[in-house]
Structure 1
């Protein structure tokens, strides 16, 4: 029987209303300015449009081949993740690019008729108590690119989805795809524009280019360390230049970390946990003239500013200043570790008072009583380590004494030891035992030395490693020395090594040779590894394969293949060198030539087309030659291999508070005598023009007058004349004389020249070298 004209009119009217509602939704989609507005604000209205109970909108993650729900009707499940495959309804829709209209999701026969692997995951219904029946899945695509899937579930009247639903769902999917694509493209463009303006200062000075910023922005470390840090590390942007660029961009002061910064008010710190500050990259810095100063990695972030105003409502004026993320992290550690946060348990004096307040334990029972649960001992050791790391300490010395003398804790800063704290004698066994527990050593063995490593992030808030050595001392006691390892630090730029013009030029020529041997020598802790890595960073390019064997790996560089040796299991420097030769190297760095075998393999490698870098523990460059010859190395092979030997020392650098003065006649004569009268004449320096500086002291340097260290060097070049002397196994004086004729300045001479520049003083130079 034919339908009446009235019913036809009603149907047409319904379709027009349906169409109007759909167009309203589509207009709403295209007027939205961000993805959240599109997806969240219209989810319920889309379900109502199709008179459906639920809707899920998935977006595609092409890299991981997944669909991730961005919109879910209902509150039982927060997110659904399904693979793009034929094993699920939405996954099959995305994979095939076709519409799925399922009448009964529980009907396996209906699903198998579409694809043999297709099945409905009943677990979602079991979790939520919702019963899925009809399912309509529509793919969202933009120019063959999969954007996602719209999944509409259960018509409210229980009927299957019809052709009209499918048509409108496809139209909706097309509109969503276009809108999502355009918003994503706009976000990417905006991000690039903002990044470019952020680094305008660097771009204008050709320190960076657009391509470098684009590459760095997709680096996996950006999320953790920030784009600024990645650019400084990967593209060698100087820290000072980056700070200037960001200061200009943000229009604020940009500060760096100073361990001597004044303490922050404890009441302000208590309002927010340090772990939250670590995640959000800000920290209260100081209160001055009623203004609260906040350090942030992005001082223009309005969202964080609003939150900070909520936390500190009493401050009507809040000033936001910029800082690098690592400096913010250091300030958080500094401020909170002065109090009782970050697991330190209080100041060092408070912890020692707690020790004094406890009963004196029996010495025989001391080691057995120490465990992870001895909270004050745990806090005390953590505090010692945390203070050392924040104070830029290189070594921590725990020194117990027999009888009732206090345990002395000394720290080495800039090469000089000073007393950090005295701890009651009754804990002279407990503290070494706690440290041994932290690095997995045998606490019952006190008769022989042991060595190990502490991964401190397992015990405290700082991600740092310490190398530990225990040494038995008189009275059945043990000294413990902990070296703070510079874990994951970037290489020092070559121009920051402090080499003289001649030394820099000669070393640069040597490291650009296709093969040969370059040695850096000096005592432990003289910066040999830092110098090697700085030199290698110059030739670290994608065209050059570089292998390094180190113990431990302290400095990391992208592009190097770095290996940690393990002598205890037989993986020595010599074994690593042999394996490198089978691994197609251009450049090899071996941490140390400790024995004849390693030295012989290193020399052999340099003679077979490889550039080899290594270190040695000797006092001067000429002594290195005789030392290697004493190892019974073949003098002919060694002379052919050697390119240069750089000897170095580290001496303390004068702080900015230094005071300049003109030396008197007697002091000038002594300096010239020390330099060498004939050698001084060759420098062309007029004695009347010489100005020296002396240490004074200020709060910034802890009243020591010194802050940081600088290198002094002597560089022996492998000239033809030098190679002839090596072949003859000449005496050390002949080798030194020839090296000086070749242009070498001795360690002391280099140090004196740096005194003339006001970098250090003669007292410091005399402490680290003789000639």
Structure 2
């Protein structure tokens, strides 16, 4: 039982054998670690259990040779290193200065501390801040065997039996310190430096080198991506990771843009499964060329996979984080119903020549199965994304039709539809709400009961208005369907409910219902009329 051995009498031979047998197992594992930081993740708990202590701190000597810096500290939920001067003002500092071990029964006992040094004190602020009570403390120097040079300090805090650390623990601490000295010496030897794509996080002082090592080991131990560990456990911003990737791959960083317009021409021959398997995605066609984002643009560029799919275009590579890449994929191909993706629907449409079509041609195109599915898909996605309005904005000439959603009062780009389907798209919407498809010079208002055309039981209030170039804009307000709520269930205060009843009970007159978008004006009027 390792939890008991350190506090047994020194003459208990059986306890000593058991303790040092388990200490040997820990020593073997320490020699197997790549560097001392790995002990923090894998061995600190075992060392605490072996010495039956509550907390463990391991210090190494600082670069200035005038201080010691914590590299292992169990029990404190902080990645910030503790730095103590090599002086007799603190317990660990005194041990580092004198190179002698101390075994303190109660660090709050000033009389006991003064026996070691008149200047020794225990910093109680940490205990007060965390609610912890430090008491017993066994502290041993870590010394290089050949030269006697100080390498660090190992500190055991609070016996779980609430009694001073025994002779076996003192001997075991000395043995552990000798093992750590070997580990420190091996670490200080020159090792080949392996450059990683996250090194710039250290160079830019976003995190320390030790924290990056810890994150890498944590990622391997948990079997999750390193990027996820950096963001969740070390609070590194995706933009900082993106800038580090840009330095490593020597290409600009492309962040996720929620208002990016889907490049349907570029996505025409790409499927989600292919994009996710190969980890690259064209996001726009700019003046520089076709912008391709990838978490590893070097691999995509070397394989020429993007160049083969777009042989006539110039490829401009951008790097992005894994998380932002997945967001972009979801944005372009994301959670869609069995109706198919918008990209698939548009790719199935014949681009054709944009031009002025007759009314009969418009009606024929409006009945086209792909266009019908596209209109239904636009409405379904708007509802799923929580949009309040759908804006259909045709432009004259060969410019595409822009479709935007209004979310929380702000217009956000959704998709662009080929110009050749401009008139057919508006005609399809007019057919759905029983408007005059031959009238294009006057505004019209109507309503779509979408349950007749698609899977949702919603209504849309539709308004069309002629615009420049002989085209028509369409705006659709998404409304909840169903029977109107009774006025008693609307949640009015007694005063407002009484005044409303008086107002609508009058035989004639006019009253105004005012309020911002989504405040319930239409719902209120439905209840009044119902």
TM-score (norm 2): 0.38
Higher relative contact order (CA 8 A, sep 6+): 2
